[in-house]
Amino acid sequence: MHKFLSVAFNIVPIVVMVGCIPLVTNDFVLAGIYGLVSVVALAYRRQRGDLTVFVFGFFAMTVSEYFFIATGVETFNRVSFLGVMPLWLPFLWAYGFVAMKRAVVILGIE
């Protein structure tokens, strides 16, 4: 049960971020909120490699999303970053990578 709660706790920032999407219509403000949430989440129970995983997730998913969009697999109505996707999306993906990494460590499946 303790592991479940620890994993769930690491998902809370993602739930907060996704919950803000319909409430904050300015992508620049939303990206700032995501940056703040990410900094707080990364600072709380800081673990080795979290920042590296965050940066990797940011760039890997930005490139991946760009290819998805270029091939027509995805489209966005909010296109404030590179003219094709919302500015806040790479921040959401980046923290998602950190949450997954932390879950793997907590569950001991590394």
Residues 6+ apart with CB under 8 A from 49: 101
Answer yes or no: is pLDDT of 102 > 70: yes
- Say if residues 32 and 91 touch (Cβ distance below 8 Å): no
- Say if residues 97 and 57 touch (Cβ distance below 8 Å): yes
Answer yes or no: is pLDDT of 110 > 80: no
**Can you tell me the distance from the alpha carbon of 69 to that of 61, in angstroms, rounded to the nearest whole number?**
12
Q: What is the pLDDT of residue 82?
A: 87
Answer yes or no: is pLDDT of 52 > 90: yes
